[in-house]
Amino acid sequence: MPRKSRTQLIKPRIREILSQELPEGLVQLLPKHWVQIGDVLILPLREELEPYKRRIAEVYAEVIGAKTVLRKGHISGEFRETNYELLYGRDTVTIHVENGIKYKLDVDRVMFSPANVKERVRMAKVAKPGELVVDMFAGIGHLSLPMAVHGKARVIAIEKSPYTFSFLIENIELNGVQDRMTAYNIDNRDFQGENIADRVLMGYVIKTAEFIPKALSIAKDEAVIHYHNTVPERLRPREPFETFQRIAKEHGYEAEKLNELVIKRYAPGVWHVVVDVRVFKQ
């Protein structure tokens, strides 16, 4: 008989325990999917389960082996902060290992989207040894740590939030890339470097277009910009590249689309996409 995966064993065990404690009918509403970041769980819980939420969280934590459980919320604001309800445990700081990279973060306060994993892995492959990457929205090093660790690129990582920045600094050390990764706790619009980057990362959404002129000034006369943005379905595939190209032209740059990928569905009818753009100074 084929052996069952850990998740296949976890779900029946959770149901077995909770079916003895929850009113009939509610067991079917228990979450079948969850997100695990390090040893912190993020559970989506339906309203009907509200009176039992703490016990449910405790059982999930014990069976899965997590120290803390948060209830799923929404990511919002300039610093892309999360908005969770603490259901079980206290400590929300953890180390998540993905693709050989150690990411230390506070899951309760810092965004870490499992849906962006493909992009984090892709960035490890596109970076080339020795090239200079400027990450304008570094977070905890989500996209640029893989470039420094696996791609052996030199990285300048800019992060405005002091709290997120504290993890970025720790992650540079944890992954042993102090020799090729430097971090600045500033607004990227105040960054002084000009005409220096072979590659610019713009891992941000909604307002990314406002930062295109700054990205162009950081880029060398010929460079690649990984431009993320959110775009309504009805504007694809023209956008978001058309806006990028127009702004680039206004600033004296040609822009050529190399590639476009969907990162994830951001909201109903809205996609988070990344466009790889080669820019040339005219």
Query: Where do contacts with ligand SAM occur on this chain (CB under 6 A)?
Result: 78-80, 111, 116, 137, 139, 142-143, 158-161, 164, 187-189, 203-204
- Min separation Cβ 56 and ligand SAM, Å: 29
Closest by CA to 266, choosing from 120, 109, 115, is 115
| DSSP states along 49-115 | GGGGHHHHHHHHHHHHT-SEEEE----BTTTTB---EEEE-S--EEEEEETTEEEEEETTTS---GG
| Nearest CB to ligand SAM, comparing residues 111 and 121 | 111
- Amino acid in position 225: I
| Nearest CB to ligand SAM, comparing residues 139 and 151 | 139
- Residue 240: asked if its preceding bond is cis (omega within 30°), the reply is yes
| Nearest CB to ligand SAM, comparing residues 78 and 221 | 78
- Min separation Cβ 115 and ligand SAM, Å: 10
Query: How many angstroms separate the CA atoms of 244 and 211, rounded?
Result: 10
- Min separation Cβ 59 and ligand SAM, Å: 31
- C-beta of residue 253 within 8 angstroms of C-beta of residue 243: no
Query: Which stretches of 212-269 are assigned E, i.e. beta strand?
Result: 219-232, 253-267
- Min separation Cβ 55 and ligand SAM, Å: 33
- Min separation Cβ 117 and ligand SAM, Å: 10
| Nearest CB to ligand SAM, comparing residues 118 and 128 | 118
| Nearest CB to ligand SAM, comparing residues 30 and 105 | 105
Measure Cα distances from 189 to 149, 207, 235, 249, 253 in Å.
26, 13, 28, 20, 19
| Nearest CB to ligand SAM, comparing residues 88 and 137 | 137
- Min separation Cβ 79 and ligand SAM, Å: 4
| Nearest CB to ligand SAM, comparing residues 158 and 219 | 158
- Min separation Cβ 14 and ligand SAM, Å: 30
Print burial letters for 73-102: b (CB count within 10 Å at least 16), e (below 16).
eebeeebbbbebeebbbeebbbebebeebb
Query: How many angstroms separate the CA atoms of 55 and 89, rounded?
Result: 12
By beta-carbon distance, which residue lies closest to ligand SAM? 203
